Amino acid sequence: MGRVVIDSEKCKGCLLCVEVCPRNVLKKSETYNSKGIYPVYAENKNNCIGCALCAKRCPDMAITEVYR
């Protein structure tokens, strides 16, 4: 069981994290942030194993913390 903390204001919606997540946790949001970007959020929270691959892939340091 893991947990990711996403700063949705910093997310630019490149979706690279979605691609690397082995457990299909992350998904593009339906609502946009103050920059007009549809950020990523943890939809399937319970699937997260805290591998931090998403955080290490994120070019915007928008995934600020990962817990396991």
Partner 1 sequence: METLVFQKPSRIKKDCKVTFCPGCDHGVAIRIIAELLDELGIADKTIVVSSIGCSVFLNDYYDLDIVEAPHGRALAVATGVKRAKPDKFVFTYQGDGDFASIGLGESMHALSRGEKVTAICINNTNYGMTGGQMAPTTILGQKTTTTINGRDAEVQGYPIKICEMAAVCDGAAFVARCSLDSSKEIENTKKMIKRAFESQINGLGASVVEILSICPTNWRLSPQESHERVRRELYPVYPLGIYKDKANK
- Give contact residues for partner 1 (rule: CB under 8 A): 2-3, 10, 12-16, 19-20, 37, 50, 52-53, 55-68
Closer by beta carbon to partner 1, 47 or else 52: 52
Query: Considering the complex, what minimum distance in angstroms separates the CB of residue 45 from partner 1?
Result: 13
Q: Tell me 35's DSSP state.
A: T
Q: At CA 59, angle to CA 13 and CA 46, rounded to 5? A: 65
Q: In the complex with partner 1, which residue's Cβ is closer, 32 or 67?
A: 67
Q: Rounded to 5 degrees, what are φ and ψ at 3?
A: -150, 135
Amino acid residing at 19: E
In the complex, minimum distance from the CB of residue 55 to partner 1, in angstroms, rounded to a whole number: 5
Helices (H) and strands (E) counted in the chain, each on its own, are: 2, 4
Nearest approach, Cβ of residue 50 and partner 1 (Å): 5
